[in-house]
């Protein structure tokens, strides 16, 4: 049934957006390759779901800071076997390109997948007609990728076919290095909602590519006009598929256990939840192997991509609702700490009690602060600090890390773009060149890496964020504090007393659909064209445009570099900070805020916290309103969702929230 395209052209969108969507729609309607999708597309047209169709086709699903990720569905801007196939064939071409440069022999990749399955929870498609994407699991996408790699002569390392097995992101990063592979792929959408999925592509170091190398890969993906593919059963008999063994996975656990700082400190009760994901195979296994008393949250132990026991079905340990069930069990058990990991187990979150038995949510910056101080102070006491200790963090991660690092003679590289791949890239540069930006480092100088979104890395044997090492050391610290008659919360407050209290706050401005991308860019361009001297009653000291070649990173290296550097940093006269950054993987703009201070005469730490929190809330509110105003929208504009301050309240009052 032909489309009547007039309704699409009448939508209030830029003409290029509409015309690209129409062209892509026509291709999917006319090409036999996409015949299986046609019934659903025709049904959407009959139901006049024009905005959904445009959003599904106005662009190719892009690569962001975490790779290719988005809603599973039908269209060029959806994750499905067709969009994945082009990415995998492009990755093959990129591996061949690198093979010539580096003189590699046989090419091999490691494949991983999480627990997801597409069930169309939003009910966007017609359940009464065929739908090729309905029911697709991460495992299924992984098999499809294996068929493409092997058809191109690339050896694949992957999990055996037992249904219960999944492989965590940090295990994948480790195995790439351990098996001597040239790349890797994880089919995962991390902590996104259940109907999302994605392809996280890794390089030979176990990290993800940064500009301009990622741009080279993107261009090769764009140039793909034919995908080679063989049947999976044929691939197995070809000798190009090898299975990841229990021994391979044990090597990862051994690498994590080697990071222990105080192996004698094991007297801590830890409640742990994988939130239905892969964390039980890495974080829980490492803590159990180390000798901790780990109490499992049994309701959340089984693999389940619908995340049925997690409020809102969003298994993100950055968010208080996801942590309530485990925290309640930890409180009932009299535990010393509760920890949880997201579905692909690269992130972790924690809840801990204070000396009075009140339970507190620890945000990503606080966990990073605790681990930075614990690692540096313990290594110093043991005489194990390297000569040039190195702590690495990103632009939007708490500034207290710099003050802690300086106290121990460590260098804190703290101005990186958002994305853990930039931390991994510094390790790559140190490995291959013996330094970074003219500074000499050895790889063993690396002490710790962290980003505010609950990502931590305690060993250079892995090149992406890793929940297991962070969980192990945080459990160890809980045991250390218990032995001294204190708590992890006391430990954090002591750090604040010494180095100043620092509060970080993240606000997200959700902008749905194809319209959102245009609005996001209008926001940032407005600041570039008319930099404010004041935001509300707050004086702007300086605004940095990270796309400006004179500011920090030099000339733009590639389109992907330009996108990653689409960041504005505001330093205020009173010491506050605000950073605007459109997300690379989600339809939202993120604004990161920070305020810090030392207790004044007669002022307690708790009074300082309350004062800074109130001031930062006010600043964040004014900042967000001014930003929306520049895009000619308000929080009440359809499709706009502003969130963040209420999440901070839930974190600050978690003891009350978990009782509701």
Strands 63-64 and 241-243 turn out to be unpaired
Taking alpha carbons only, the member of 164, 105, 114 closest to residue 136 is 114
Kindly provide the residue ranges of all beta strands, DSSP E only, lying in 303-445, ordered along the sequence.
Answer: 337-341, 348-353, 359-362, 390-394, 411-416, 435-436, 439-440
Taking alpha carbons only, the member of 81, 76, 90, 79 closest to residue 26 is 76
Q: 610 near 504, Cβ under 8 Å?
A: no
Count CA within 13 A, CB hemisphere, residue 48: 4
> Residues 6 or more apart from 301 whose CB is under 8 A from it?
273, 274, 276, 280
How many whole angstroms separate alpha carbon 648 and alpha carbon 592? 13
Taking alpha carbons only, the member of 496, 460, 469 closest to residue 595 is 496
| Widest distance between CA atoms in the chain | 77
Q: What are phi and psi of 387, to 5 degrees?
A: -70, -30
Tell me if the bond preceding 212 is cis, omega within 30° of 0: yes
What is the H or E stretch that residue 455 is in?
strand 455-457
For residue 439, the cross-strand partners are 436
Alpha-carbon torsion angle 630, 634, 635, 640, nearest 10? -80
Q: What are 475's two structure tokens?
A: 């459990």
Catalytic residue at 611? no
Q: What are 615's two structure tokens?
A: 């001031």
Q: 67 near 200, Cβ under 8 Å?
A: yes
For residue 413, the cross-strand partners are 392
Of the candidates 190, 273, 399, 405, the residue annotated as catalytic is: 190
Lateral strand order in the sheet of 293-296: 293-296, 269-273, 337-341, 348-353, 359-362
3-class DSSP assignment, residue 209: coil
3-class DSSP assignment, residue 223: coil
Q: Which residues are catalytic?
A: 190
């Amino acid at each position: 049934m032909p489309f009547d395209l007039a309704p699409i052209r009448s939508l209030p969108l830029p003409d290029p957006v509409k015309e690209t969507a129409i062209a892509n729609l026509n291709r999917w309607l006319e090409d036999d390759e996409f015949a299986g999708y046609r019934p659903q597309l025709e049904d959407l047209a009959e139901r006049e779901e024009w905005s959904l169709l445009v959003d599904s086709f106005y662009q190719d699903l892009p690569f962001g800071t975490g790779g290719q990720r988005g809603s599973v569905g039908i269209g060029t801007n959806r994750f499905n076997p067709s969009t994945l196939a082009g990415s995998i064939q492009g990755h093959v071409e990129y591996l061949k390109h690198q093979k010539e440069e580096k003189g590699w022999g046989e090419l091999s990749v490691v494949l991983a997948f999480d627990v997801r399955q597409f069930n169309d929870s939003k009910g966007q498609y017609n359940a009464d007609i065929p739908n090729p994407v309905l029911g697709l699991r991460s495992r299924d996408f992984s098999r499809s990728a294996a068929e493409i790699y092997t058809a191109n002569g690339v050896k694949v390392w992957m999990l055996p076919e037992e249904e219960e097995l999944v492989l965590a992101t940090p295990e994948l990063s480790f195995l790439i290095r351990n098996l001597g592979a040239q790349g890797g792929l994880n089919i995962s959408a991390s902590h996104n909602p259940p109907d999302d999925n994605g392809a996280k592509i890794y390089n030979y170091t176990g990290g993800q590519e940064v500009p301009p190398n990622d741009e080279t890969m993107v261009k090769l993906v764009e140039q793909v006009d034919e995908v080679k593919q063989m049947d999976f059963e044929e691939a197995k008999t070809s000798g190009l598929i090898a299975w990841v063994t229990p021994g391979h996975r044990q090597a990862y656990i051994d690498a994590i256990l080697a990071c222990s700082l105080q192996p004698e400190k094991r007297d801590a009760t830890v409640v742990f939840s994988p939130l239905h994901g892969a964390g039980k195979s890495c974080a829980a296994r490492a803590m159990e192997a180390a000798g901790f008393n780990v109490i499992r949250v049994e309701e959340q132990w089984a693999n389940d991509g619908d995340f049925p026991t997690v409020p809102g079905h969003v298994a993100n340990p950055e968010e208080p609702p996801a942590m309530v069930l485990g925290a309640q069990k930890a409180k009932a058990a009299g535990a010393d700490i509760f920890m949880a990991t997201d579905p692909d187990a690269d992130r972790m979150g924690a809840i801990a009690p204070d000396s009075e038995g009140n339970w507190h949510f620890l945000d990503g910056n606080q966990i990073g602060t605790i681990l930075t101080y614990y690692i540096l102070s313990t290594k110093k006491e043991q005489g194990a600090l390297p000569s040039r200790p190195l702590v690495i963090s990103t632009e939007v991660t708490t500034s207290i890390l710099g003050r802690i690092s300086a106290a121990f003679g460590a260098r804190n590289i703290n101005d990186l773009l958002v994305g853990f791949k930039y931390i991994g890239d510094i390790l790559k540069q140190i490995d291959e060149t013996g330094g970074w930006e003219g500074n000499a480092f050895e790889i063993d100088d690396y002490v710790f890496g962290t980003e505010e979104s609950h990502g931590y890395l305690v060993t250079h044997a892995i090149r992406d964020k890793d929940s297991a090492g962070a969980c192990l050391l945080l459990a160890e610290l809980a045991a250390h504090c218990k032995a001294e008659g204190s708590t992890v919360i006391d430990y954090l407050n002591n750090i604040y007393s010494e180095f100043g209290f620092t509060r970080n706050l993240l606000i997200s401005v959700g902008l749905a659909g194809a319209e959102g991308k245009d609005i996001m860019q209008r926001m940032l361009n407005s600041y570039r064209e008319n930099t404010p001297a004041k935001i509300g009653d707050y004086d702007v000291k300086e605004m940095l445009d990270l796309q400006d070649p004179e500011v920090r990173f030099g000339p733009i290296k590639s389109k992907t570099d330009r996108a990653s550097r689409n960041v504005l940093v505001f330093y205020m006269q009173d010491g506050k900070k605000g950073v605007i950054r459109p997300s690379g993987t989600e339809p939202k703009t993120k604004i990161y805020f920070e305020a810090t201070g030392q207790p004044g005469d007669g002022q307690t730490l708790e009074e300082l916290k309350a004062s800074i929190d109130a001031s930062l809330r006010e600043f964040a509110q004014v900042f967000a309103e001014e930003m929306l105003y520049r895009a000619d929208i308000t929080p009440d504009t359809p499709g706009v969702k502003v969130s963040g301050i209420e999440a901070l309240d839930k974190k600050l009052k978690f003891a009350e929230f978990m009782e509701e």
